[in-house]
Structures are given as structure tokens and as C-alpha cells.
Structure 1
Amino acid sequence: MPLDTASGAFAIAPTPFHPDGRIDYDSIDRLGDFYREVGCTGVTVLGIMGEAPKLDGEEAVEVATRFIRASQGLAVVVGVSAPGFASMRGLARKAMEAGAAGVMIAPPPSLRTDDQIVTYFRQASEAIGPDVPWVLQDYPLTLSVVMTPAVIRRIFAENPSCLMLKHEDWPGLEKISALRAFQADGSLRPISILTGNGALFLDFEMERGADGAMTGYAFPEMLVDVVRLQKEGRRDAAHDLFDAHLPLVRYEQQQGVGLAVRKYVLARRGLLASDAQRKPGPVLSDRAKAEVEYLLSRVARVDRRAAISPQLARAS
């Protein structure tokens, strides 16, 4: 699937670990099968929620390669953001050799002016090579780099190999509308816009012109269905399903513990052998786990896929 025409749901995959910190390759295989079975069109690995900074260079290549192998039939995007271009180039080249559909690049927090931002991405694109398709990640809430629609247009104009925007601004609905307006007036070539931010605004992002989602909610089936329903014009059905999941989506989006919540739910679903994060990382309290269980029971009133029997829970 060419990235500039990609749509649907790209699941942001967590990196599974055993409690002792070793990479859990069997859980990677389960996740790959699961994402394909529930209708995802792609998988993104080694993103911000993939604990990429906790992996050394060799481990990053191994994780990316294993996900690519486990996700046959899906477009796999590999996060390659790094402090220096040498390590970015090395991981990008190895990911593409392994069969990735492209890579994703986020800006370093030090960028402030529009010219600094545009120059950085031009240099990054040159570093990985013009033959490597890449995704521009726009996530000012975490990365503190603010890119206006005009700056994003400049980045796409200067870098033909930049094919997709991962849109995670907040509030960001007007930004999607502005970018689609640029496309309509011919000042921006056609690009794919997939949205993140834990899917908090996916219901209306689709109505503003997004092509789909690229985020890591623990029920990617919901993302798949909301995108599909919106594309079918079934607005109320899309919002009804989204609204049922929204309390759990919100809980999972908490700064600092969001990944712990996501891994806990994925372990409860039998997809991860453990909800462990590689240290340093927070651990959910018993009170927090009880709150998640309550939210799961409420989602299950509308969506039975959230009805997880206690006996199916894995040790966490």
C-alpha cells in the first residue's frame, strides 16, 4: 500500500517485554496476527509508545524486523527518530531492507522557528535517502514543536518522499481542514492524513478529511470500525460506537501511565504475555487496575469485544 494513498487504521504497536526486561518475540507474533485479523491496514512500530529509546540499535532492528515478518499483508511503518542522522539512516535502511512500507520521523524538541523545522526535515530526508518513503509526525503536545499548516505544506513541497502526515495536534480539527483546502486549491499534492492522539478526536477528524487513524488504543477494532462507518456515511453509528469506548480511550490517554494502561488491557486480552515495560516505567496500582476493569465492563455493554472473562487474564 503506497503511503500517500493509505487509509484505514494503522495500529501503534507496543514493544512487548518479559518482566525481566527481555523482548517478548512471541507476543510480537501474536500482535501481528491480531492486527491483521481485526482489519487493520497497517502497523506502526518503534513509535513514542513503543519504548524505542529503551532499545539499543540492534534490538530496534530486531523488533522492527520481527513485526514486519509477523504482519505480512499489512503496511508497516517504523519509527526512526533519533538525536543524530547516522542512527536514523542506519535503522531506516535496515527497516526498508526487511520489508517496511516506510519510516516515521518526528522533530526534535529543540526546533523553534519555521525555517529550523523545514531545514531539519529536509536534512533528515536527505540522510535516509530519497528512495525511502516517510511519514511526518506532528505531535506538539509531547514534542513541543509547533508546525502550522503552511509549514507542513512547505515540508511536503520540498520532500517528494514525504507521503503521509501523522496528525496529532490538539486542537487540530481546523488544521486538517486547512490542509485539505490546500490540496483542493492545488498548493499541496495529495497526501494521506492519519490521526493519533490516542483517537480522542477520531470521530470528528474523519469528518474533517482524515483518511484514518494511526494510534495505539487497546481495541484497534473500534478504530477500524469507526473509520469504516464514517467512510460509509453512517455518521450516527460511528459516533455511537466511538462514544461507548471514549471513557476508556480517555483513561488510556493519561500522561505518564497511558502505556501501562494499554499494556494492561492488551495482556488482559491475551495478546501480551505480560504488561511489563522496560525500566524505567510506571506500574499500575491495584486501584487503577480496578478502574480499568470497571471501564471495560461499561464498554462491554455496547461492544461485546470488551467483555473479557477473568479467567482469560494473563499474569501481569
Structure 2
Amino acid sequence: MTDIDFTGVFPAMTTPFHDDERIDFDQLQADARRLERAGVDGLVPVGSTGESATLTHDEHVEVVEAVIEAVSDVPVIAGTGSNNTREALELSERAADAGADGLLLISPYYNKPEQRGLVEHYRTIADAVDLPQIVYNVPSRTGRNIEPDTAVELAAHENITGYKAASGDLGQIGEVVERTQGEDFSVLSGDDALTLPMISVGATGTISVAGNVEPERTCAMVGAALDGDYERARALHHELGDLFRTLFVETNPIPVTEAMAIRTDAAPVLRPPLTRLSEEYREELAAVLEGLEDETVTEADAASPR
């Protein structure tokens, strides 16, 4: 297994589409190269932000392959979760065959498995696929919380080396950090607004939505926090505060897709049942992005530890 240092900023990439909803691979690869130049520590395609739920299995693999092809110096962690173990295993095996460096696995959604079912699910994939794997806890989407006992049990598996925390429960997240300190195991923020607080209790970085739009500033914030410069980190956190809030005024990835259309050549297209950001929020988002453009982040500030 190739080791990955899950430290720093790993943007949860959007999947751009043409007006007819075909994947825009040219824009996807341009996004990947832009993020790599900005200093991110890895890329996470085909997660929730990448509209994994609206892609076919073949499209999953094609997106992963395209991102791998576009970058040269950062790991690619493919989203391969599903609501059933057999499908998640198939996606994971195909991503591994495509050359992914690691896997991000959302817990099975809709089914609401018991904690023992979650352990069996993740262990089945970790036993079969020899890549570093991140367990993703987002109860608001899945309907089931991965309890700390379950996370700690999973951390003992050599291939399960990370935990993406998007429960909003800082106490629970801190407990997972505390109880896995003896393992080769990283806790990563899955909630941009809580990244700085999570790092303060031991998280090592973030799988970030905002990192698509403001990669330099996000890297600067995370890098400062990891270096112990909390004065600088807090200043950047507050600079990004309006963006963190605006990117979640509607279901992710609706706002970030609109933001990418403003900042890049991407079209503001999502696949149904997702819809374009409501007009009432577009002006607000544009104003937030314009305000951030008035600030500058130096290359030294943006450097994130690797």
C-alpha cells in the first residue's frame, strides 16, 4: 500500500458539465491543474461535491482517470462510496485499477445500517483493496452517524487511515482524535466552517468545498493552524467566513458550482434532481467572491505543509 500523508488541504472537486449535461473533461482537468498549482495537498474527485450520485459507474472511473492524468505531484483520492457494499467494492476496485492513490468512502446512505454493519462494510472493502481509505461520516446525508467506538475499531485496520468528519459534533470529533492517537490515522474536516476548530483539537486538515474556489487562502489558513500560528489562521478563517456560509445556502454542490462558473470557464450546470442556485443567492455569492478578490494571499502564505 502506498502511504498518503493526509495533512493539509484536499479539495472535494466539482464535476463540470456541458449544457447538455455531458461531463466537461477539459474543464475538469483545467480545474485539477489550477488546484495543484495553488498548492493543495491532494484532490478528491467524485465525492458528494463531484455529484457522485448522478454519475454512472463508468463516468466515475473516467473522472478519476482524467484527474490523475491532469496532475503530476499530488495524490488523487477517489470517492467510491455507495449505499451497498457490493457496489462500493466494485467502484473501489475500479478506482484502484485506474490508478487512484486512495479512496474516500461515504457511509452507506438510506439503508441506515447498525454500527456492526458499518464495521463489516468498511472492513470488506479495506480487506479487498490495498489503498489508504478514508471513512466519511456525514449523518445529514446518510441518516446514520458513525459512532466513535466504530471509528476507533475501524482505525485498527491497516488500510483505513483517515476519517472525514462532517457530523458538526466537535465533541465527538475530538473523541475520535483522542482515541486514535496510537494509530496511523488522520481526522480531516468535512465542514469548512469547522476546519479551524477541528485542527485545534487534532485534525490534520480538510477535504474542502471552499478549497475549489479559494485554494490559496484555504491552504494558508490550514497551514498557519498546523504551524501553530492561530492568530494568522483566525484572520484567514474570518476572511473566508462569508464564503463558508454562502457555499451552503442551498444543498452542496449547488452554490459551489455557481461559484466555479463565476471564477472559471465552467458552466453553472448540474444534473437533475439538482438545480441551479436560486437567483436570490447569485448576487450575494458574486459579491462575496468579488470581496475576496480584493484581498491577496502571498505564495508563502498559501504554502500548506506536505
Q: Say whether the fold is shared (TM-score over 0.5).
A: yes
Picking from 219, 244, 247, the partner of 2:242 is: 247
CA contact (8 A) 1:43 1:71 kept: no
Give secondary structure in 1 for the equivalent of 2:15.
coil
Tell me the amino acid that sits aligned with residue 263 of structure 1.
T
CA shift for structure 1 position 23? 0.7
Structure 1 residues not aligned, in runs of 5+? 306-316
CA shift for structure 1 position 292? 1.0
Q: Aligned residue for 1:156? A: 155
Q: Aligned residue for 1:263? A: 257
Aligned residue runs from structure 1 range 222-241, under 5 A:
222-241=217-236
Aligned mates of 1:46, 1:193 — CA distance in 2 = 20
Query: How big is each residue's C-alpha offset from its partner over 1:116-150, in whole Å with a ceiling of 9 and x where there is no partner?
Result: 22222223334xx1423211111112212112222
Q: Aligned residue for 1:94? A: 94
Query: Which moves more between the two structures, 136-145 or 106-115?
Result: 106-115
Identical-pair percentage: 22
Aligned mates of 2:135, 2:20 — CA distance in 1 = 34
Aligned mates of 1:286, 1:85 — CA distance in 2 = 39
Aligned mates of 1:138, 1:64 — CA distance in 2 = 22
Give secondary structure in 2 for the equivalent of 1:264.
helix
Q: Aligned residue for 2:204? A: 211
Tell me the amino acid that sits aligned with residue 34 of structure 1.
R
How many residues end up aligned between the 2 structures?
Answer: 294
Aligned mates of 1:269, 1:298 — CA distance in 2 = 13
The answer to whether 1:15 aligns with 2:15 is yes
1:111 to 1:20, Cα distance in 2 relative to 1, 3 A? same
Structure 2 residues not aligned, in runs of 5+? 299-306
The answer to whether 1:292 aligns with 2:293 is no
Point out the structure with max Rg over C-alpha.
Answer: 1
Q: Aligned residue for 1:276? A: 269
Aligned mates of 1:99, 1:221 — CA distance in 2 = 27
The answer to whether 1:114 aligns with 2:115 is yes
CA RMSD across the alignment: 2.0
Aligned mates of 1:89, 1:118 — CA distance in 2 = 14
Q: Aligned residue for 2:301? A: none
Aligned mates of 1:176, 1:242 — CA distance in 2 = 19
The answer to whether 1:65 aligns with 2:59 is no
CA shift for structure 1 position 114? 2.4
CA shift for structure 1 position 106? 1.6
Aligned mates of 2:147, 2:85 — CA distance in 1 = 24
CA contact (8 A) 1:141 1:170 kept: no
Aligned mates of 2:244, 2:231 — CA distance in 1 = 19
Picking from 148, 156, 174, the partner of 2:171 is: 174
Tell me the amino acid that sits aligned with residue 268 of structure 1.
I
1:179 to 1:285, Cα distance in 2 relative to 1, 3 A? closer
Query: How big is each residue's C-alpha offset from its partner over 1:202-228, in whole Å with a ceiling of 9 and x where there is no partner?
Result: 121111111111121121222211111
CA contact (8 A) 1:226 1:238 kept: yes
Aligned residue runs from structure 1 range 18-97, under 5 A:
18-97=18-97
Q: Which runs of 4+ in 1 moved over 6 A?
A: none
CA contact (8 A) 1:8 1:228 kept: yes
TM-score by length of 2: 0.89
TM-score by length of 1: 0.86
CA shift for structure 1 position 8? 0.7
CA contact (8 A) 1:176 1:209 kept: no
1:160 to 1:275, Cα distance in 2 relative to 1, 3 A? same
Tell me the amino acid that sits aligned with residue 195 of structure 2.
L
